[in-house]
């Protein structure tokens, strides 16, 4: 299914992350204010050229397809990498590219590709809705630019981003705006969440200066496409994490002995592990096909399979990580064991960008049901 170059990419990323993101480092970074290691980030951008993977070569990137992006996300999901990769290399890059705004792309993409600019997309608000109706932040013209007033919630890496691409409503409809991290009237508050391996923030804008990205009133089609790509990348992450949880459970079932025999020989444990395998393989298939559709720029198919991938992989990841804890028994519930780190990521991912039920509703709407 994958080319030799793609398999080489996977091997290189896996080897790097095994060294740079062991469990001990994940736990350390969970306790830091920034939530990531700048030195590792610099290596991701420079040594591996992963931050600019999807950025066109004219802006300093690799110009790779979304399949490569998904493979990287899958490997990062395996190691629970603490870094602003998803917000910067997936969300922000997708928004800038889809906007068609050549000036904005020239201004921001080179810095992103070089790892010098951390970026994110600020969409959801207090309602928790990830659709156009949930955008209440207001943008008003001010001189040659705009100002935005409103509050954004669940902003990935919003506390450290140098650039925020903010969804706000104008008289023409939902539009997309670029807001520098140091802009006046911008207040960013890190959130205490279930999963501290992926940082979220609340962003308050009080007449904050902003510049329009793309056309006024044309922001929602851009953001809807970004959400579809985000769902695909997240599904790949979830498949990677689910595989680790399965491997963890199977190894423990082989090693743990009760009544003179490995617990993996007991029917109940065997059946649970078999069900976990089915979920993992199905999730991986859904994620890979969605990534292929994204790479082929088949928007008609992508709108459907992204919804399938997000809904299925979210449920599968949660189920597999919960089953992993059950296979481990009492030790699986302890803080010292890594099983809960994957469960926390799974529960957080389940709601990120919308719950599985919301994506099933979106799928039904997109196929005309």
Q: DSSP states of 244-301 as a string?
A: HHHHHHHHHHHH-EETTEEGGGSHHHHHHHHHHHHHHHHHHHHHHHHHHHHHTT-HHH
Domain limits, CATH 2.40.110.10, in the chain: 119-218
The architecture of the domain spanning 119-218 is Beta Barrel (2.40)
Domain limits, CATH 1.20.140.10, in the chain: 221-366
pLDDT tens, per residue, the chain with 369 residues: 799 999 999 999 999 999 999 999 999 999 999 999 999 999 999 999 999 999 999 999 999 999 999 999 999 999 999 999 999 999 999 999 999 999 999 999 999 999 999 999 999 999 999 999 999 999 999 989 999 999 999 999 999 999 999 999 999 999 999 999 999 999 999 999 999 999 999 999 999 999 999 999 999 999 999 999 999 999 999 999 999 999 999 999 999 988 999 999 899 999 999 999 999 999 999 999 999 999 998 899 999 999 999 999 999 999 999 999 999 998 998 999 999 999 999 999 999 999 999 999 999 999 988
How far apart CA 28 and CA 45 sit, in angstroms, is 22
pLDDT (0 to 100) of residue 1: 76
Looking at residue 175, the DSSP 8-state letter turns out to be E
Domain at 221-366, CATH from 1.10.533.10, 3.90.1720.10, 3.40.50.300, 1.20.140.10: 1.20.140.10
How far apart CA 282 and CA 298 sit, in angstroms, is 22
How far apart CA 313 and CA 93 sit, in angstroms, is 23
Indicate the CATH number for domain 4-113. Answer: 1.10.540.10
How far apart CA 78 and CA 244 sit, in angstroms, is 6
* 310 touches 354 (CB < 8 A): yes
User: What is the number of other CB atoms lying within 10 angstroms of the CB of residue 182?
Assistant: 7
pLDDT (0 to 100) of residue 369: 85
pLDDT (0 to 100) of residue 294: 97
pLDDT (0 to 100) of residue 47: 94
How far apart CA 255 and CA 182 sit, in angstroms, is 53
Domain limits, CATH 1.10.540.10, in the chain: 4-113
* 37 touches 81 (CB < 8 A): no
pLDDT (0 to 100) of residue 168: 98
Distances (CA, A) of 250 to 77, 211, 240, 305, 308: 19, 52, 16, 30, 27
Instruction: Report the phi/psi class of residue 87: left, alpha or beta, with left for phi > 0 and alpha for psi in -120 to 50.
Output: alpha
Q: Which residues pair with 148 in a beta bridge?
A: 139, 208
Instruction: Work out whether strand 163-170 and strand 186-190 pair parallel, antiparallel, or are unpaired.
Output: unpaired
Per the structure block, which two tokens stand in for 29? 């970074």
């Amino acid at each position: 299914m994958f080319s030799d170059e793609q398999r080489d990419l996977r091997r290189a990323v896996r080897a790097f992350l095994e060294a740079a993101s062991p469990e001990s480092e994940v736990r350390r970074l969970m306790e830091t204010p920034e939530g990531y290691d700048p030195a590792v980030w610099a290596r991701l951008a420079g040594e591996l050229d992963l931050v600019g993977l999807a950025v066109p070569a004219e802006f300093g990137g690799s110009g790779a397809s979304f399949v490569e992006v998904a493979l990287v996300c899958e490997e990062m999901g395996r190691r629970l990498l603490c870094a602003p990769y998803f917000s910067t290399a997936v969300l922000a890059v997708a928004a800038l590219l889809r906007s068609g705004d050549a000036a904005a792309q020239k201004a921001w993409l080179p810095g992103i590709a070089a790892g010098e600019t951390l970026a994110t997309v600020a969409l959801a608000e207090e309602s928790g809705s990830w659709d156009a109706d949930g955008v209440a932040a207001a943008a008003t013209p001010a001189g040659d630019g705009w100002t935005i007033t409103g509050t954004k919630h669940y902003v990935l890496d919003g506390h450290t981003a140098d650039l925020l691409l903010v969804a706000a409503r104008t008289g023409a409809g939902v539009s997309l705006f670029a807001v520098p991290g140091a802009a006046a009237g911008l207040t960013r508050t890190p959130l205490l969440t279930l999963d501290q391996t992926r940082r979220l923030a609340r962003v308050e804008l009080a007449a904050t200066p902003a510049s329009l990205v793309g056309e006024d009133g044309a922001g929602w089609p851009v953001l809807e496409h970004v959400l579809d790509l985000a769902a695909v990348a997240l599904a790949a992450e979830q498949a990677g994490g689910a595989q680790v949880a399965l491997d963890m459970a199977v190894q423990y079932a082989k090693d743990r002995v009760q009544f003179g025999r490995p617990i993996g020989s007991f029917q109940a444990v065997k059946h649970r592990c078999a069900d976990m395998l089915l979920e993992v393989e199905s999730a991986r298939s859904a994620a890979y096909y969605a990534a292929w559709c994204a790479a082929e720029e088949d928007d008609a198919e992508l709108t459907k399979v992204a919804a399938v991938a997000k809904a299925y992989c979210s449920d599968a990841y949660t189920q597999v990580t919960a089953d992993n804890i059950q296979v481990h028994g009492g030790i699986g519930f302890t803080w010292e064991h890594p099983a809960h780190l994957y469960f926390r990521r799974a529960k957080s991912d389940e709601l990120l960008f919308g719950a599985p039920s919301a994506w099933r509703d979106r799928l039904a709407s997109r196929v005309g049901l």
